[in-house]
Structure 1
Amino acid sequence: MQYTDHTYRASIKSVECYNTTKPGSFPIIQLRSNEQITLAFDDLEGRSRNYYYTIEHCDAQWNTSRLSPAEYLQGFMEDRIMDYNYSSGTVQKYIHYEVKLPNQNLSPKLPGNYLLKVYEDNDQSKLIITRRIYVTGSATGISAEVVPSNNVTLRLRNQKLNFQVSYGGLNVQNPYNDIKVVVMQNGRPETMQLNTKPTFIRGNQLIYNDYNINDFAGGNEFRHFDTRTLKLNSERIARIFKDTANTVLLLGDESRNQNAYLFQYDINGSFYVINQDGRDARTDADYAYVFFNLSASSVPSKGDIYLTGKFNNYELTEAGKLVFDASRNQYTAHALLKQGVYDYQYVWINSDTKKPDSQPLEGSYFETENDYQLLVYYRPPGSRWEELIGYKVVNTKR
């Protein structure tokens, strides 16, 4: 089991996990509120299965808290997913599963990080999906601003986050040990920076503005395409073929590592399942093989290219690795995706350093619009766990 967002079976597609009030949103809810998290996914094998789910409490760095489920759960320790429907009028047959939590059968008692696990036949060794979700209290105040990097050579490419945390009312015996702050860019765990010590303390305020911390590559706006309809070519679509399977060819991509920033709208790497030609995208949106192609003329030598986005959890796997087509002098890849709007980008891995980096193909600019999530964790005196006590999202344009 991996304590991260991961799908363990190839037949499971279009996994969505978000605050129910807004599809595609960060999966966080307020403890003891009316908010819920929605988990939805499709099983392409086409026959109903007995899927169960539970949640496990974790610390700020996503290690298990080693608590008994009775300490952090109320209701049952696990529950079966009963809400499922068969696809209707689609070439690709599938079953759509959905669950909302907290619910009357299972809900958390403590704030904190939780790993949501879905598994088959009430057997946790048969894992299907794991997703990170967040349950927060409201014991802190957070203020933040985005500024250019303090490093002069990075000022045109990086975005630095300075922020303050107010913890009045909490029993904090040692602010340097009891409070941690996690910062992420666009909800992506691989961008996480952990702040364990403030730069300095002013009364009950913790100030984080050190020269070297929370300095992020701004990146670029994500590339995107639109398959809300398969009846005509929409934005970024070159051709659509419909036969025993739907096939979508995208327009060719070029490197965007240029001298100047160019604004374009994106959804910060996320995706939305939408079908303009149907009534309920959950069950009447079809699947299509989407083909990507990247010009080789601007690709660095000695390395590999991967296709990433929230649709594949930003994972660098063989399924997302681009293959060089010598006849067309292009790198190509394909993915089976449900109808909707998708963001994606290309990541380069140097053969020598083995370090993933999107900048060689996408560029990096201070002007790029990004969301930054700030999560404040607190270990109460004498406790064996860490609680999530504050959350704030900061947008670079607002």
Structure 2
Amino acid sequence: MFKSFLLLLLITFSQTAFSQIEQEINPPGYIKSISFQGQARESQLPILQLGQALILEFDALNGDEDDFYYKIEHFDYDWTPSQLMQSEFLSGIDNQRLKNYENSFNTYQIYSHYNLRIPNEQTRGLKVSGNYMIKIYNDLDELMFSRKFMIQENLANVGVSIKRARNVKEIDNMQTVDIIINSGNMQFNNPTQTVKTLIIQNNNLNTAIYNVPPQYTMGNELIYKYTNETLFEGGNEYFYFENKDIRGATSAIQFIELHELYSNYLFTNIPRFNKPYTYNPDINGAFLITALDTEKPAIEADYAWMHFSLLMDELPENQSVYVYGNFNNYVIEDATKMTFNSQRGVYEVPVILKQGFYNYKYVVVDNKTGALNESFISGSFWQTENDYKVLVYYRDLGARYDRIIGFGEGNSNTITN
């Protein structure tokens, strides 16, 4: 009996010790326009209130009407698997086929548009708050892609305000996030250990700030007013283009060609790191699928080759330039890697995208370390308008998973010194 107990303890410890942090898997080249959204119909990182519906949409450009299946998993704050069994966080069953899909209509690019809504007949809902990931498989049980999302309970009030950096050296190019968490009717036990925060700029988890403890406590409030721990680069406003009329030039599109698909050539952009800050309204890296003279843009919007170009001297061999934005989940991949055209003196790359309104920027990546520099080309300014979201996680003493008990938002358009 004692040996069995020791064996069980060893297995449990081994599973805990070797739990790996879960990373999102990028889709293959023929899966495009992944739009993962909540009831607000945002094409952004979904942060839902417990009980709200979740919607996942994407296109498969192979024209084969493939069968896809979905699975849902629950994770702790650090994106390691939680201890909960599936029946504890999911009502119903997953590993079901995506039944709702339509084929494109009147487009040069043939594709199938898939739509998954949760709850549905098989998956009736998600029971608890926390970190989740949805995984999409093909009929051979091969993982096609995965996406993170969060569910929160809205039990604590989260105040978010954006300030200029308190560090004088960074005051011209950084923004800091101040947070006040009011526990309301909840009683935080040992909040420095049980309360964790996640601070997200422009829905980009790659640059999010984790593991910032409360600076001090005042009554039932947790106060975060750090000098360095909650600093973000202000960055710059995103470039944008709109091609809802795929055959018409706009203020961003210089000219158009038609081969097998339309090619839209954007006006060449220039670096702005050495230019004064200029306000230019954007949607903070997001994208929106839209097309003129269509009733259902989801299946009637076409795909086009968008030709990006950047007027800049060639960088050393150990550095590369990429197009960057929410259109591909802020991923650094070969499809968005730019090549230097020595005859024109520009970096350029064609990217196939669905008609719509897109934000994008150019970033530099160190080929050896993988370090990403968002401000090398765009510059970084304290005045830049950015969205911020703060999630508050809580695991009470003896609890088995990390709950998300609060959610707050702030925008730097009201930034103060």
TM-score (normalised: structure 2):
0.90
> Does the C-alpha gap of structure 1 residues 243 and 319 become closer, same or farther in structure 2, counting only changes over 3 Å?
closer
In the alignment, residue 224 of structure 2 is paired with which amino acid?
Y
Query: Secondary structure of 2:206's partner?
Result: helix
The equivalent position to 2:67 in structure 1, one of 37, 50, 62, is 50
1:285 aligns with 2:304: no
Query: Secondary structure of 1:192's partner?
Result: strand
> Does the C-alpha gap of structure 1 residues 113 and 353 become closer, same or farther in structure 2, counting only changes over 3 Å?
closer
Instruction: Identify the residue that residue 17 of structure 2 maps to in structure 1.
Output: none
The equivalent position to 2:39 in structure 1, one of 20, 36, 54, is 20
Instruction: Identify the residue that residue 90 of structure 2 maps to in structure 1.
Output: 73
Moved more, 346-355 or 52-61: 346-355
1:367 aligns with 2:408: no
Instruction: Identify the residue that residue 185 of structure 2 maps to in structure 1.
Output: 169
Instruction: Identify the residue that residue 26 of structure 2 maps to in structure 1.
Output: 7
Moved more, 315-324 or 266-275: 315-324
In the alignment, residue 137 of structure 2 is paired with which amino acid?
Y
In the alignment, residue 103 of structure 1 is paired with which amino acid?
N
Q: Deviations over 1:150-185 (max 9, x none)?
A: 111111101111111111333432111111010010
Q: Deviations over 1:199-235 (max 9, x none)?
A: 1111221111122211100000011111111121023
> Does the C-alpha gap of structure 1 residues 136 and 319 become closer, same or farther in structure 2, counting only changes over 3 Å?
same
> Does the C-alpha gap of structure 1 residues 257 and 163 become closer, same or farther in structure 2, counting only changes over 3 Å?
same
Distance 2:317 2:170 in 1: 24
Give the aligned length.
394
Distance 2:39 2:22 in 1: 23
1:132 aligns with 2:151: no
> Does the C-alpha gap of structure 1 residues 196 and 147 become closer, same or farther in structure 2, counting only changes over 3 Å?
closer
> Does the C-alpha gap of structure 1 residues 122 and 393 become closer, same or farther in structure 2, counting only changes over 3 Å?
farther
1:154 aligns with 2:170: yes
Q: Deviations over 1:128-168 (max 9, x none)?
A: 22111111101101112111101111111011111111113
Residue identity over aligned pairs, in percent, reads: 31
The equivalent position to 2:229 in structure 1, one of 213, 235, 239, is 213
Query: Secondary structure of 1:74's partner?
Result: strand
Q: Deviations over 1:102-138 (max 9, x none)?
A: 3342111111111011112273xx1122111111101
Query: Secondary structure of 1:311's partner?
Result: helix
Instruction: Identify the residue that residue 240 of structure 2 maps to in structure 1.
Output: 224
> Does the C-alpha gap of structure 1 residues 300 and 209 become closer, same or farther in structure 2, counting only changes over 3 Å?
farther
Instruction: Identify the residue that residue 130 of structure 2 maps to in structure 1.
Output: 112
> Does the C-alpha gap of structure 1 residues 100 and 352 become closer, same or farther in structure 2, counting only changes over 3 Å?
closer
In the alignment, residue 204 of structure 1 is paired with which amino acid?
N
Unpaired runs of 5+ in structure 2? 1-19
> Does the C-alpha gap of structure 1 residues 247 and 254 become closer, same or farther in structure 2, counting only changes over 3 Å?
same
Distance 1:338 1:187 in 2: 21
Q: Kindly state the Cα deviation for residue 360 of structure 1 after the two structures are TM-superposed.
A: 1.6
Q: Residues 277-356 of structure 1: matches in 2 within 5 Å?
A: 277-297=293-313, 303-350=319-366, 354-356=370-372
Q: Kindly state the Cα deviation for residue 246 of structure 1 after the two structures are TM-superposed.
A: 1.4
Distance 2:84 2:199 in 1: 25
Moved more, 296-305 or 63-72: 296-305
Distance 1:279 1:7 in 2: 30
8 Å Cα contact 1:171/1:381 also seen in 2: no
Distance 1:15 1:351 in 2: 27
TM-score (normalised: structure 1):
0.94
In the alignment, residue 60 of structure 2 is paired with which amino acid?
D
Q: Deviations over 1:30-85 (max 9, x none)?
A: 113xx322110000110112211121111122222142211111111332211100
> Does the C-alpha gap of structure 1 residues 319 and 25 become closer, same or farther in structure 2, counting only changes over 3 Å?
closer
Q: Kindly state the Cα deviation for residue 5 of structure 1 after the two structures are TM-superposed.
A: 4.2
Distance 1:295 1:196 in 2: 39
Distance 1:138 1:116 in 2: 22
Distance 2:54 2:404 in 1: 16
Q: Kindly state the Cα deviation for residue 350 of structure 1 after the two structures are TM-superposed.
A: 4.1
Distance 2:239 2:76 in 1: 34
